[in-house]
Structure 1
């Protein structure tokens, strides 16, 4: 015990850099958690909007004929805008829910990238101005504002996507790029039906470890990945064994 206090007396100054390092890790973890939570909410909202936009299957029922109502003169325009809006959202979700694409083009989900941040702002504006339904009654100004927002949303995503495909992992350090490459190789094993169940499970866990702190992977993307890993596992479990 005396040796400990003697060490502490001579090297008390070492506590300050250690505290700074610990504080940096804590802040990084907190920012990552907030970012994942925020992105999860955005994905849930986007998926809900797409689901709501999908027309339900019509079931034939013997009902009284409904009177013919004249559609709103702007309804065709809104239907077209809704379709364009949903198409961009579907393209975005195609990245956000696919871990392989996030590894290949990590800046597409990095809000610190100026073009990605501009796209996310355009998305929020388009979502905010989107009417409740194509039958909504809008003023000319409201229709023009929503139309412009959808155009901005589409253009901003096109630009962010091209930039992400151009940059790939060039913004990362050599060590980080090696981690991304390792994660990419492990991901191929995790969803490979030819690998053993143990190999796929170990590969999946290693993918999570390699990506931790590098790119933001939403909870929904993890669920999709786990489903892909589970399918080969189930197939392997049901495969007959040789006597």
Structure 2
């Protein structure tokens, strides 16, 4: 009874502490929710981008395996759309090269940070280009639709070029000293996690530490994590490293 009574005495005297504590807890909850939403949104973007690249490759693969002569008469805009699709897919592939590589995300973290103005502008340009992209190179589009899509692809490419240059210029300079130290630690641990000379246990420990250091710092997509996990996992017939 004494301990219970002491608790309520403390609570009665320091009731005002409830408000700052609730504020801190609420801040953590909002931060977690925003991080989860950002990861979910980025995962959808990556899935859509990978699907678009796969769909763009499929017609070329089918054509190479069959009669090279077209079965139907190409539309007047087909050559232009082929060129625009290639440019569009090229920028998307360059973006995915960062999004799916944890090492590059650590080295250039602002390239995936939608709070950065230039990165946000690139992501908006990407959505516009994706939205205006015709269903296929054989689609019948008007001159205005073709012009709008061509302009969107140009804006997409320019916006990515600018965002990429800025990310490479800034590197981790927008982070605090403590956050930069965490990024550096994550980079060092990452080299151990994918080191074929390390033991499976060392690689797994390093991988877990990488995840801990990056948590709350940068958004790493599920696809990037999957690729990293595949690099961390040793082949079944690999033998542990011994001195």
Q: TM-score, normalised by structure 2?
A: 0.93
Structure 2 match to 1:7: 10
Structure 2 match to 1:222: 225
Is contact 2:199-2:241 (8 Å) kept?
no
Give CA-to-partner distance per residue, 1:183-220, whole Å, 9 cap, x none: 00000000000111100000000000000000000000
Give CA-to-partner distance per residue, 1:96-150, whole Å, 9 cap, x none: 0000000000000000000000000000000000001111111110000000000
Seen in structure 2, the aligned counterparts of structure 1 residues 182 and 141 have a Cα distance that, compared at 3 Å, is same
Instruction: Give the unaligned 5+ runs of structure 1.
Output: none
Seen in structure 2, the aligned counterparts of structure 1 residues 24 and 194 have a Cα distance that, compared at 3 Å, is same
**1:72-221 residue pairs with structure 2 within 5 A?**
72-221=75-224
Structure 1 match to 2:235: 234
Is contact 2:98-2:104 (8 Å) kept?
yes
Instruction: Give the unaligned 5+ runs of structure 2.
Output: none
Seen in structure 2, the aligned counterparts of structure 1 residues 111 and 14 have a Cα distance that, compared at 3 Å, is same
Seen in structure 2, the aligned counterparts of structure 1 residues 241 and 28 have a Cα distance that, compared at 3 Å, is closer
Is contact 2:118-2:162 (8 Å) kept?
yes
Distance 1:24 1:241 in 2: 45
From 37, 52, 56, the counterpart of 1:34: 37
Offset, 1:174: 0.6
SS at match of 1:56: helix
Distance 1:181 1:52 in 2: 38
Offset, 1:67: 8.2
Distance 1:150 1:69 in 2: 27
The root-mean-square deviation of aligned C-alpha atoms, in Å, is 1.9
Seen in structure 2, the aligned counterparts of structure 1 residues 175 and 67 have a Cα distance that, compared at 3 Å, is closer
Residue 19 of structure 2 corresponds to residue 21 of structure 1:
no
SS at match of 2:207: helix
SS at match of 1:234: coil
Q: How many residues align?
A: 236
